[in-house]
Amino acid sequence: MSIKFYNTLSRKLEIFKPIEKKTVKIYSCGPTVYNYAHIGNFRSYIFNDLLRRFLLYEGYKVIQVMNITDVDDKTITGANQQKIPLKEYTDQYTKAFFEDMETLGIEKVEYYPKATDHIDDMIELIRKLEKKGYIYVSEGSVYFKISEFKDYGKLSNIDPKGMKDGVRIDADEYTKDNAKDFVLWKKAKEGEPSWETEYGKGRPGWHIECSAMSFKFLGETFDIHTGGVDLVFPHHENEIAQSEAANEKPFVRYWIHCAHLIVDGEKMSKSKGNYYTLRDLVKKGYSPLAIRYLLLSTHYRKQVNFTSEGLQAAQSAVNRIQNFYINVKEQKTENIVDHKFNQVLKKHTTAFNTALEDDLNISEALGHFFELMTDANKFMTDKKLTESDKRSLLEAIISFNTILNILDTREQDKLPAHLQELIEKREKARKSKDYKLSDELRDRLKEENIILEDTTEGVKWKVLK
Ligand code: AMP
Ligand code: ZN
């Protein structure tokens, strides 16, 4: 089966064919580093991670760029409030961003360019636009004239007819009703960082950075551009305008946008104050794996409703998968010939892949994983799993996990000596019927995430994350 993605530009599911046969080039809008990212932002980054991991799983090479916006209205205001240089201010949140990405098991992409390192590339793009007659200067700032670009509105489906020429907007974020000529280069203001350029002393508007940096790392036309749905207008509409006006060729083949994380029916956002950072949730005792699962497990074009019940359900799902993995690893196998496990495994693996190929339908793919678990458990209970079945099953779990990344696959056979000792002490206490000590030791192990199970074959243990 071929891979299909929903392309915001055509408003259709399309068969995915990258420009180069085996390499996919992706640009993903990244964070504005003016504060800690909230978990709504991470919904978007986990969607990027799913897309990336899935393409790698399908055998593609991926070259992905995620920009770091380290100069804009919000970063400048923050730095001024803290009375520190812009770079010092943004560095702390850039560092926090990468720490949080790692906590959530998000794979690093190839390039994380910072806007402030690419001012020259932005100026070069503005120069190109000037030569082609798309810009004008007003009160020292440079604007893109949207009436000159005939396709303006094709992504967000707005009709720019009737908009007055020369009506400008300086803000980076605005709504569709406010479509106006947008700013490429802002004239320097007192107390703001600025760069000396042929367009005067100033700083870039927000939209220009993504076009300039994507050309630099991916070329003038590339395969996929991602972001949250809030970026369709104006950010991505403006990216298309300035990129296609400058290069006179299509900018991006597939635009893929993820829906929001919402709280009580509203988008989670800093401005509404209804947000949690990853750190808030981890401090409250939620595991990063459960948070990852919650953000990952809903289809990317559906909103994720954030609730504590949802997080608990995510935790149970993660535990169930982890326990299943450990059980399979520890499973004693049988010497039988007549069995059908291979077929069952193939059926579920194919269904898992097919679901993801269908516009990254992760919830359906997970459903097939859970069905596989139920079926495999039955084979194990019926003592019908051979050594080769077990190997294939473990391979399938590990391979699913290259996409999900919710499993702790560290070697579980060896525990640190002090924990091994505790388990042995507890075994002794239990055998000599000292249940009080036995329970105390069980609780101490639990604090270390070691769960004991007394079976007919003796005590078994599992590591929970
Ligand atoms: P920002 O730092 O605000 O520029 O946003 C960074 C990324 O997070 C963008 O791709 C946004 O679309 C995305 N984003 C912001 N809020 C949410 C949310 N509540 N749910 C999903 N994605 C979001
Ligand atoms: Zn962008």
Phi and psi dihedrals of 87, rounded to 5?
A: -65, -40
- Nearest atom (ligand 1) to Cα of 260: 20
Tell me which of 34, 43, 44, 236 to substitute to probe ligand 1's pocket, judged by most ligand atoms within 8 Å of the beta carbon: 44
* Cβ(137)–Cβ(234) below 8 Å: no
C-alpha 129/C-alpha 185 separation (Å) is 12
| Cα Rg of the chain, angstroms | 26
Lowest-confidence pick of 77-86, 124-133, 159-168, 283-292: 159-168
Helices 387-404 and 39-57 meet at what angle, rounded to 10?
130
The residues with which 461 forms a beta bridge, in sequence order, are 452
**Given a cut of 80, is residue 123 above it in pLDDT?**
yes
pLDDT reported for residue 411 = 64
Q: At the fourth CATH level, which superfamily is domain 4-258?
A: HUPs (3.40.50.620)
pLDDT reported for residue 425 = 85
Tell me which of 101, 230, 271, 276 to substitute to probe ligand 1's pocket, judged by most ligand atoms within 8 Å of the beta carbon: 230
**Given a cut of 80, is residue 418 above it in pLDDT?**
no
- Nearest atom (ligand 1) to Cα of 29: 10
Tell me which of 33, 41, 304 to substitute to probe ligand 1's pocket, judged by most ligand atoms within 8 Å of the beta carbon: 41
Q: If you measure from the C-alpha of residue 30 to the centroid of ligand 2, how many angstroms do you get, rounded to a whole number?
A: 7
The domain locations on the chain are 4-258, 266-404, 417-463
- Tokens, residue 335: 């010497």
Ligand 1 interacting residues, C-beta cut-off 6 A: 29, 31-32, 40-41, 43-44, 227-228, 230-231, 260-261, 267-269
Closest listed ligand to the CA of 36: 1
Alpha-carbon torsion (333, 338, 344, 345), positive or negative: positive
C-alpha 358/C-alpha 431 separation (Å) is 55
Please, which pLDDT band fits residue 459 given cuts at 50, 70 and 90? confident
356 Cβ partners below 8 Å, 6+ apart? Answer: 54, 57, 362, 365, 403
With pLDDT > 90 as the criterion, what percentage of the chain qualifies? 79
> Domain 266-404, what fold?
Isoleucyl-tRNA Synthetase; Domain 1 (1.10.730)
What pLDDT, in 10s, does the model give residues 41-75?
Answer: 999 999 999 999 999 999 999 999 999 999 999 99
Closest listed ligand to the CA of 237: 2
- Nearest atom (ligand 1) to Cα of 34: 2
Q: If you measure from the C-alpha of residue 211 to the centroid of ligand 2, how many angstroms do you get, rounded to a whole number?
A: 8
- Tokens, residue 62: 């991926």
Q: Which has more confidence, 405 or 422?
A: 405
- Residue in 199, 186, 256, 181 with CA at minimum distance from that of residue 225: 256
C-alpha 27/C-alpha 210 separation (Å) is 8
Q: Which residue minimizes the CA distance to atom 23 of ligand 1? A: 41
User: Measured in Å, how far apart are the chain's first and last C-alpha atoms?
Assistant: 35
Q: Which residue minimizes the CA distance to atom 15 of ligand 1? A: 41
Please, which pLDDT band fits residue 337 given cuts at 50, 70 and 90? confident
What pLDDT, in 10s, does the model give residues 198-229?
Answer: 999 999 999 999 999 999 999 999 999 999 99
What pLDDT, in 10s, does the model give residues 346-365?
Answer: 999 999 999 999 999 999 99
Closest listed ligand to the CA of 115: 2
What pLDDT, in 10s, does the model give residues 227-236?
Answer: 999 999 999 9
* Cβ(222)–Cβ(25) below 8 Å: yes
List, as ranges, residues with CB under 5 A of the ion ligand 2. 29, 210
- Nearest atom (ligand 1) to Cα of 267: 19
For residue 264, the one-letter residue type is D
| Chain mean pLDDT for the chain | 93
pLDDT reported for residue 338 = 66
The residues with which 462 forms a beta bridge, in sequence order, are 451
pLDDT reported for residue 313 = 96
pLDDT reported for residue 263 = 92
**Given a cut of 60, is residue 445 above it in pLDDT?**
yes
Full 3-state SS string of the chain = CCCEEEECCCCEEEECCCCCCCEEEEEECCCECCCCCEHHHHHHHHHHHHHHHHHHHCCCEEEEEECEECCCHHHHHHHHHHCCCHHHHHHHHHHHHHHHHHHCCCCCCCECCEHHHHHHHHHHHHHHHHHCCCEEEECCEEEECHHHCCCCCCCCCCCCCCCCCCCEECCCCCCHHHCCEEEEEEECCCCCCCEEECCEEEEECCHHHHHHHHHHHHCCCEEEEEEEHHHHHHHHHHHHHHHHHHHCCCCEEEEEEECCEEECCEECCCCCCCCCEHHHHHHCCCCHHHHHHHHHCCCCCCCEECCHHHHHHHHHHHHHHHHHHHHHHHCCCECCCCCCHHHHHHHHHHHHHHHHHECCCHHHHHHHHHHHHHHHHHHHHCCCCEHHHHHHHHHHHHHHHHHHCCCCCCCCCCCCHHHHHHHHHHHHHHHCCCHHHHHHHHHHHHHCCEEEEEECCEEEEEECC
CA distances (Å), origin 426, targets 118, 419, 435: 61, 11, 9
pLDDT reported for residue 175 = 84
Q: If you measure from the C-alpha of residue 230 to the centroid of ligand 1, how many angstroms do you get, rounded to a whole number?
A: 7
Please, which pLDDT band fits residue 457 given cuts at 50, 70 and 90? low
